[in-house]
Amino acid sequence: MRPTACASATRPKVLFVGPTPPPYQGVAVATDCLLNSSLADDFQLIHLDTSDRRPMDNSEHLDFMNVYLALVHGFRFCTLLITKRPSIVYVPIAQNTLGFLRDSLFMIPARWLGARLVIHLHGGGFARFYGSANFLTRRFLRWCLSRVDLAIVLHEKFRNIFGGLVPASRIAVVENGIVDEFRTVGRVRDRPRSERLRVLFLATLVESKGFVDLLHAAPAVLREIPDVEFIFVGDGTGFPESENARAWAAERGLQDQVKFVGPKWGQEKHQALLEADVLAFPTWYPYEGQPIVVIEAMAAGLPIVTTRHAAIENTLGENGAIYARLRDPDDLARQLVRLLKDPILRGAMGRQNRLRFLESYTVDKFATNLGAAFHQVLGVTPEMPGRVFEASVQS
């Protein structure tokens, strides 16, 4: 159960659809942050938890459990819609056919029963999804999106991602934000000089997230700087590239310098960020938007080696990261060596990222901007903050 507070009839009700961790993927982290943020000061948040606690490789497959969960969540949603009568229904939408069909179980009833429908695209691949869909799926997408009151995207560069399916007047930009868990970052990461430099990868171990490119860059980095270790944090369950990567490292005798430590959540994940010297995130994931891991590294004051992909460059700017070419392990190795050999640059880059996080990517900023979007849909002026009721429906 989510925490509850005093009911307030003056606050608009928002039926908040979305998963919570685990697993720790972008939409779940964002949902959890928002439900525990100052957004609850202006709105009565009624949460329908759509979590699937199984490993990530189940998320886009059609199996009995996915169908069962979709039907259960759809039934619970309709029950809440009828009994709570929310002013707004908020739905994070998927960028694949099965996921969007599931989301339509929330979108269609919301409009039928008169609620304002706000969708949130937590990615940058909707145009790709729409372009590759068949004729019937496209018609369904057009029909669903024509009934949206507001579509939220992650950055200005994604404002046209719906290609006219949602009018420009119904699109708002709300960038991601997270809870600040790293207020003492400067003291925590002062480690003995004798320790190895540490390169961290933190994401699901699928090839398009760039972990294979980083692994293939490791030998070239180690030839230049032997005292480096590569820590891969993430779930590779069900992904063959994860097992292949472990075998590749073992064949080359890299077990001492390359470590696959599995997924880390909560404090363990924060500690992994604090103990790292560089985050390497050479993603080319086709549906990438504004990755939470990049913002987490910014909060931790980490320098980053990444790619000019999705909204990453717009989030970090030129001073917070060194950018490697997409799918190029040799160039990635060069950029890592450059950063690992320059402690002054690492320090300056980390401080820049920390400041940029505090200015733009805190959960308070995130909640304020989303709240403004909700008020825009309702056509009202925000009231002074107050405590409100929050309910939750768990899976």
CA-to-CA distance for 317 and 359, rounded, in angstroms?
Answer: 13
Same domain, 342 and 370: no
Same domain? For 259 and 334 the reply is yes
CA separation for the pair 306, 331 (Å, rounded):
11
Take residue 394 and report the two structure tokens written for it.
């768990």
pLDDT digits (tens, 9 = 90+) for 68-83: 888 899 899 999 999 9
Do 142 and 202 lie in one domain? The reply is: no
Q: Report if residue 132 sits inside a domain.
A: yes
Using one digit for the tens of pLDDT, what is the confidence trace for 150-199? 999 999 999 999 999 999 999 999 999 999 999 876 544 555 555 899 99
Same domain, 215 and 166: no
Q: Which residues of 114-137 are buried (b: 16+ CB within 10 A; e: fewer)?
A: ebbbbbbbbbbbbeebbeebeeee
The confidence score (pLDDT) of residue 287 equals 96
Position 5 scores a pLDDT of 42
Amino acid at 317: G
What is the structure's pLDDT at 23?
79
- For residues 201 and 101, state if they share a domain: no
Residues in contact with 308: Cβ distance below 8 Å, sequence separation at least 6, in sequence order: 323, 326
Instruction: Kindly state whether residues 39 and 55 are assigned to the same domain.
Output: yes
pTM of the model: 0.90
In a domain, 38, yes or no: yes
Q: Is residue 301 a contact partner of residue 326, using CB atoms and an 8 Å limit? A: no
| Same domain as 207, residue 168 | no
pLDDT value for 56: 57
> Per this entry, what is the length of the chain?
395
Residues 46 and 80: beta-carbon distance below 8 Å: yes
Together in a domain, 115 and 85: yes
- Do 330 and 203 share a structural domain? yes
Q: Which domain holds residue 129?
A: 13-179+362-393
Q: Assess if residue 189 is contained within a domain.
A: yes
* 327-333: long-range contacts, CB 8 A cutoff, minimum separation 24: 327/213, 327/282, 327/284, 328/213, 329/213, 329/214, 329/216, 329/217, 329/220, 330/217, 330/220, 332/213, 332/214, 332/217, 332/280, 332/282, 332/305, 333/217, 333/218, 333/220, 333/221
Beta bridge partners of 202: 233
Q: Is 4 within a domain?
A: no
Residue 192 CA from chain centroid, whole number: 33
Same domain, 151 and 290: no
pLDDT of residue 52: 85
- Residue 175 domain flag: yes
Q: Are 289 and 312 in contact (CB under 8 A)?
A: no
Please indicate, yes or no, if residue 28 is contained in any of the structural domains: yes
162 and 202 co-located in one domain: no
- CATH number of the structural domain spanning residue 335: 3.40.50.2000
Residue 6, in any domain of the structure: no
Residues of the chain with pLDDT under 50: 1-7, 187-188, 383-395
Tell me how crowded residue 179 is: count the other CB atoms within 10 A of its CB.
16
7 assigned to some structural domain:
no
Specify whether 37 is located in the same domain as 132: yes
| Total structural domains within the chain | 2
